[in-house]
Amino acid sequence: MPAGTAASKDSGKSRRTDGDLCVAQPPQLTVSPALFEKFQKLIYAETGIWLGTSKTALLCGRLYRRLRALEIDSLQHYYECVAQPDQQDERARMIDAITTNETRFFREPRQFEFMVQKILPRWRTEAERQLRPRRVRIWSAGCSSGEEPYTVAMLLARHLPAEQGWDVRLLATDISNRILEKARKGIYPIAKSEELPRDMLHSFMLRGMAERQGEIKVKVEIQQMVDFRRLNLDRETELIEGPFDAIFCRNVLIYFDTASKRRAVTNLARHLVANGFLFVGHAENLCSMSSQLRSLEPTIYTKTSDQEVP
């Protein structure tokens, strides 16, 4: 990707893309109710994700390529393999196969408007009054292919620039190694340019040339703000960083049952600073999940404290 070649919106039309394995269920690959329950419990133990019985076809379709790659002829034989204690790597590949990764730049724009209009001015004012350091730490939990943390990084680079002494870092985590590899590269189809405001596109993205034509790439200064890492949100002991000024965990908790959702929300709240902010998806209501979290408006929570948001 040639440096200095700013991306342009004029080179593509928006279309939906995601990281799903779009494999139809092969007729020879079947799973009995008893075997599906075994996979169900194994996946839940590994991730906190609960697959309902309606996901039988999804399980067969998503695992077909793994069975073919391993030359295994049935899901029963695959389960006997993947359930072995020494098969952590294969269990990670299984999770990669069954997880859905759908995201885009500036998804749920109201949340980013709230950041620009309310949160970032507050942080700047507090820093000017020496009530906080010029240091910001943000966690993107369930970052998928990277559009979310890169969106946040671009906003912070614009409004809290390093030239003014701001030290901004983002931790971006996901359970899928496959999708994290894609996120680290920061390369996307040029159709994604339609999701970005023109000024952000010009300032923070590069347009591919020659063999990279048809792609855009996140500029290196934005990539360097983000640390991508595999993490299981259902296991609170895996994260030692924090506390964070804000956490994005959007459209992740909908895959959890009540028990694993409560564990995850407790973990998220524990890693927030007092008066820190938690952003979730529109289908996720946390009011009964944690006494530490107070709703500011739909999908935006703050960790309880006497201090109010301006």
Binning pLDDT at 50, 70 and 90, where does residue 92 land?
Answer: confident
pLDDT digits (tens, 9 = 90+) for 271-286: 999 999 999 988 888 8
**What's the confidence (pLDDT) of residue 303?**
93
CB contact at 8 A, 29 and 75: yes
Q: What confidence tier does 98 reach under pLDDT thresholds 50, 70, 90? A: confident
Under the banding of pLDDT at 50, 70 and 90, the label for residue 209 is confident
Q: Comparing 42-51, 83-92, 229-238, 274-283, which segment has the lowest mean pLDDT?
A: 229-238
CA pseudo-torsion sign 227, 192, 166, 4: positive
Question: Which domains are seen in the chain, by residue range?
Answer: 9-13+102-303 (3.40.50.150), 33-98 (1.10.155.10)
Contact status, residue 74 vs residue 35, Cβ threshold 8 Å: no
Mean per-residue pLDDT over the chain, rounded: 85
| Model pLDDT, residue 24 | 39
pLDDT of the residue at 14: 34
Largest Cα span, the chain: 68
225, 156 in Cβ contact below 8 A?
yes
Which pLDDT does position 187 carry in this prediction? 96
**177 or 220, greater pLDDT:** 220
* pLDDT bucket at 7, cuts 50 / 70 / 90: low
Please tell me what DSSP assigns to residue 169: E
Question: Which pLDDT score is estimated for 101?
Answer: 67
**Which of left, alpha, beta for 275 (phi over 0: left; psi -120 to 50: alpha)?**
left
Q: Residues 278-307: what's their mean pLDDT?
A: 84
Q: Looking at the annotation, which residues are catalytic?
A: 62, 174
* Digit-coded pLDDT (tens) for 30-76: 788 899 999 989 988 888 788 888 888 888 888 988 888 888 888 99
Quote the pLDDT of residue 6.
54
Model confidence at 305, pLDDT cuts 50, 70, 90, reads: low
User: What would the mean pLDDT of 170-194 be, rounded to a whole number?
Assistant: 93
Burial class of residue 231 (count of CB atoms within 10 Å of its CB; 0-12, 13-18, 19+): buried
* Residue 298: pLDDT over 80: yes
Contact yes or no for 246/276 (Cβ under 8 A): yes
Q: How far apart are CA 175 and CA 280, in angstroms?
A: 18
Binned at pLDDT 50, 70 and 90, residue 202 comes out as very high
Is residue 184 scored above 60 in pLDDT? yes
Q: Sort 199 into a burial class: Cβ within 10 Å, 0-12 / 13-18 / 19+.
A: exposed
Q: How confident is the model at residue 28 (pLDDT cuts 50, 70, 90)?
A: low
β partners of residue 297 = 300
